[in-house]
Amino acid sequence: MENLETPAVGSMASAPAEVKAPAGGAQHARAVPTQRAQWFARASRVMPWGVSSNFRYWGEKDTMVIARGKGAYVWDVDGKRYIDYRLGFGPVILGHAYDAVNAAVVEAMQDGNVFAMTNVYEVRAAEAICRMTGVDQVRFTNSGAESTMHALRIARAHTGRERFIKFEGCYHGAHDHVMWNTSTTPVSAMGSRRSPIPVPTSSGIPSALRDRVIPLPFNDFEMLERTVRDHWHEVAAILVEPIMGNSASMMPAPGWLEFIRRLCDAHGIVMIMDEVKTGFRIAPGGAQQFFNVRADLVAYAKAMGNGFPIGAIGGRREFMMTIEPGAVGHGGTYCGNVVSVAACEATLRVMETEPVFEVINQRGARLMSGIRQLLERYNLPHVIMGVPSMFGVCIGNSENAPTPYDYRSLSRFADEDLNWRFARALHQRGILPDIDYQEPWFLCYAHSEADMDETLARCEDALREILRA
C-alpha cells in the first residue's frame, strides 16, 4: 500500500529498532512485514488480542496501529495518512492534538495533577458545562461508563426503585448493569419485540442483574407506554441515547423523547439521557438543546474533553443533590483531575468563542448529501441517518426493506458484508470511518472543504471497487 504522506514525527521515531522500512517495490514490501504487523505481533503478546478495548480488534490482518494524529488526520505506523472520521469514537471534536487544548493542559499540569480536592479548573469547567447545557449541577467522572453507572445509582437512590428501562441497540458503557441488548447483541437472541428477552452482551455478567433491566425497542411508543403502565412502581429510570450513536445514528421518531419525558413525569421515573456521544457535539447544549427536551440526569463524556479522559453527570439540582456524603455514593480518585478538567475548560472555551458547530454542521451536511448521492447513483439500497456532526451510513440488502426505525430493523436492513467491504476499501484509500457500519462518521472542527472533496472522490472509487467485485 502506498504511503500518502510520511509523518514528521511519531511512527518512525517509535518503530521497533529491529524493523527496517520497506526499501520500495511491491515484491520487497511483501517480503518485509509491515510496521503494523510487527507492532501488532508485539501488542498481541502482551495485551489480549493486541488491543485495549474489544471494539478496536478488527482481526489479525486489519487491526490498525496508529502512530500519531493532528487535526483531522491520523497516521499509522507505516506512515500512511488517513482522514479520520472515527475521531477516537467521537471525542475529538476540535481536531487531534488541538493546540489551544494542549497548551492549556501543559500549563496546568506544571503545578500537579491529582490532589483529590476541589481545584479551580474544575469549578470553571463545571460552570461552563452548566452555562452551555442548562444543567444546574455537575459531578465529574473519567469516562462515559462511569457517568451512566453513577447516574443509574442516583436514580435508584432517588426513587427507591431498582429496575430501569433501556432500549435495544443503545450502548451505555462496559459496566454490568447496562451491557444488555446492546448494538452487538444478535437480534435473533432477543425474542419477540412484544416481549424482549434481556440478553447480556458478554459472558461474566451476573444473571442476578437480568431482572433489573427491562429492554424495549427504540421508538416504540405503545410498548413503552404499556411497560410503564404495568411496571412504573418498580422502575427507577428510563435510560436513553437521544440519537442512537451506537446504531448508525438512528434518530428518535418525532415526539419520542417528549413522550419519555411525559411518562417519567407522570410516574416519578428519572429520565436519564445518555449524551456521551451527542453532548457538546450535536449542539453546544447537546441533545437537550437540539430536541428541546430536558432530562433529569445527563451522562456526558467524549467531546467535552476533545479526547482527554473525562466524563460528567449533570442534571437538575433536585436529582444531583441526591448525592450525599455517607449516604449516596459518587467518587473516584481521578474525578476532576487537573489535566482532564483543564482540557475540558479549554475545549468548551473554543466552542463558546469560535464557530465550531457551524463549521462542523456545514461540512458534515455536505458529506452526508454527497455520500447519499453516490449511493443513489450506484443504485445501492441505503440509509443515511443522524445529524451532520455524527451520521450513520448503512448499505442495505434489499430495495424493498422498510426504512430502519429501531435496532432490530436496522440489523435486518444492513448488508454486513457490503458495509464491511466499503469500509475496508475506504481505509485502503486513506479515509477512515469505523469498520462497523453501526458506528457513526464523526466530524471535527479541523475537517476542511478539501477533506470533503477528497473523501467524496475516494467514496466513489471505493464504491466502484466493491461493485466490480
Q: Which of 135, 186, 157, 100 is nearest to 328 (CA)?
A: 157
State the Cα–Cα distance between residues 289 and 283, nearest whole angstrom: 7
CB of 310 to ligand PMP, least distance (A): 9
Which stretch in 273-281, 286-294, 360-368, 373-381 sits in contact with ligand PMP by CB under 6 A?
273-281
CB of 79 to ligand PMP, least distance (A): 29
CB of 232 to ligand PMP, least distance (A): 25
CB of 355 to ligand PMP, least distance (A): 26
Complex with ligand PMP: residue 276 or 375, whichever CB lies closer: 276
Complex with ligand PMP: residue 11 or 438, whichever CB lies closer: 438
Which of the following is catalytic: 73, 98, 171, 445?
171
State the Cα–Cα distance between residues 7 and 438, nearest whole angstrom: 30
- 246 forms part of the interface with ligand PMP (CB under 6 A): yes
Strand 311-315 with 297-300, pairing: antiparallel
Element (H, E) at 145: helix 144-159
Complex with ligand PMP: residue 245 or 433, whichever CB lies closer: 245
φ/ψ of 272, rounded to 5, equals -110, 120
CB of 469 to ligand PMP, least distance (A): 31
Which stretch in 95-103, 259-267, 272-280, 386-394 sits in contact with ligand PMP by CB under 6 A?
272-280
- 150 forms part of the interface with ligand PMP (CB under 6 A): no
User: Which residues ranging from 400 to 439 are in contact with ligand PMP (CB under 6 A)?
Assistant: none
Pick one of 82, 85, 89, 290: the residue that binds ligand PMP (CB under 6 A): 89
Element (H, E) at 123: helix 120-133
State the Cα–Cα distance between residues 374 and 330, nearest whole angstrom: 49
Residue window 216-245: x/- pattern of binding to ligand PMP, with contact defined by CB under 6 A: -------------------------x---x
Which stretch in 57-65, 138-146, 379-387, 441-449 sits in contact with ligand PMP by CB under 6 A?
138-146
Complex with ligand PMP: residue 77 or 145, whichever CB lies closer: 145
Q: Which of 135, 413, 137 is nearest to 289 (CA)?
A: 135
**Residue of closest CB approach to ligand PMP:** 144
Residues 6 or more apart whose Cβ sits within 8 Å of residue 96:
68, 69, 70, 71, 72, 73, 74, 84, 87, 307, 446
Pick one of 301, 393, 395, 435: the residue that binds ligand PMP (CB under 6 A): 301
C-alpha distances (whole Å) from 43 to each of 1, 30, 402 are 22, 21, 43
CB of 252 to ligand PMP, least distance (A): 14
Reply yes or no on whether 406 is catalytic.
no
CB of 174 to ligand PMP, least distance (A): 6
* Interior angle at CA 393, CA 59 and CA 166, nearest 5: 80
Reply yes or no on whether 334 is catalytic.
no
For ligand PMP, how many residues bind (rule: CB under 6 A)? 15
Which of the following is catalytic: 84, 220, 274, 434?
274
- 313 forms part of the interface with ligand PMP (CB under 6 A): no
Reply yes or no on whether 274 is catalytic.
yes
User: For 119, which DSSP code?
Assistant: -
Pick one of 122, 274, 296, 434: the residue that binds ligand PMP (CB under 6 A): 274
Element (H, E) at 271: strand 270-274
State the Cα–Cα distance between residues 383 and 366, nearest whole angstrom: 16
Pick one of 10, 95, 169, 173: the residue that binds ligand PMP (CB under 6 A): 173
State the Cα–Cα distance between residues 436 and 418, nearest whole angstrom: 11
- 276 forms part of the interface with ligand PMP (CB under 6 A): yes
- 177 forms part of the interface with ligand PMP (CB under 6 A): no
State the Cα–Cα distance between residues 35 and 184, nearest whole angstrom: 31
State the Cα–Cα distance between residues 9 and 16, nearest whole angstrom: 14
Complex with ligand PMP: residue 22 or 88, whichever CB lies closer: 88
Q: Which of 154, 183, 191, 189 is nearest to 166 (CA)?
A: 183
C-alpha distances (whole Å) from 223 to each of 105, 165, 255, 264 are 47, 11, 15, 15
Which of the following is catalytic: 84, 302, 437, 445?
302
User: Which residues ranging from 153 to 172 are in contact with ligand PMP (CB under 6 A)?
Assistant: 171-172
- 277 forms part of the interface with ligand PMP (CB under 6 A): yes
CB of 282 to ligand PMP, least distance (A): 12
Residues 6 or more apart whose Cβ sits within 8 Å of residue 203:
none
Asked if 259 contacts 294 with a C-beta cutoff of 8 angstroms, the reply is no
C-alpha distances (whole Å) from 322 to each of 158, 162, 239, 312, 331 are 6, 15, 18, 16, 14
Complex with ligand PMP: residue 298 or 301, whichever CB lies closer: 301
User: Which residues ranging from 31 to 60 are in contact with ligand PMP (CB under 6 A)?
Assistant: none
C-alpha distances (whole Å) from 9 to each of 17, 67, 77, 281, 466 are 16, 9, 11, 30, 34
Site residues for ligand PMP per CB under 6 A: 89, 143-145, 148, 171-173, 241, 245-246, 274, 276-277, 301
Residues noted as catalytic: 171, 274, 302
